[in-house]
Structure 1
């Protein structure tokens, strides 16, 4: 299941865990975001050992600024609070490549 996060403290707690967290930085007005959403949701169902969260860049601008988000969708993989990978755009193959970095592929 993908959790929507807009609170910075909650975001920091989730990404700071000693497990992988896959973050979808998205926006309600973004066409490519809507197109890739089902792929992200399916990955969340298939990889229960990874936390999957969404951050709306408009609703959570502070988090987006902290993460250096300049385009939507942007996907960042975190582990223990550190960035472990990133991809920009609605490319399913790039999402699968990030998942492969976790060893859960």
Structure 2
């Protein structure tokens, strides 16, 4: 099999593995009247160099419909999100990219 086809198959497998669904226990949603980013500037995708502003991190958000791509978000993102399931709280997990999802308190 040519290397180009192997590369495409490998990339397709990676997309499938990373796009797995989100558990209802982990899912968040944006609070009414809130946004994840600056409404004028929009959201920025993370680069291999990280994020441009102090206080931002590369984070994947676990929405009920799936994970977001790695976005540059400020670390107060949990103040603008709420858990889909009652009795859970939003948390940020370290990593590159980090993960924003709900956990048991």
Larger Rg: 2
TM over 0.5: no
Higher relative helix content: 1
> Which one has more relative contact order, counting CA pairs under 8 Å at least 6 apart?
1
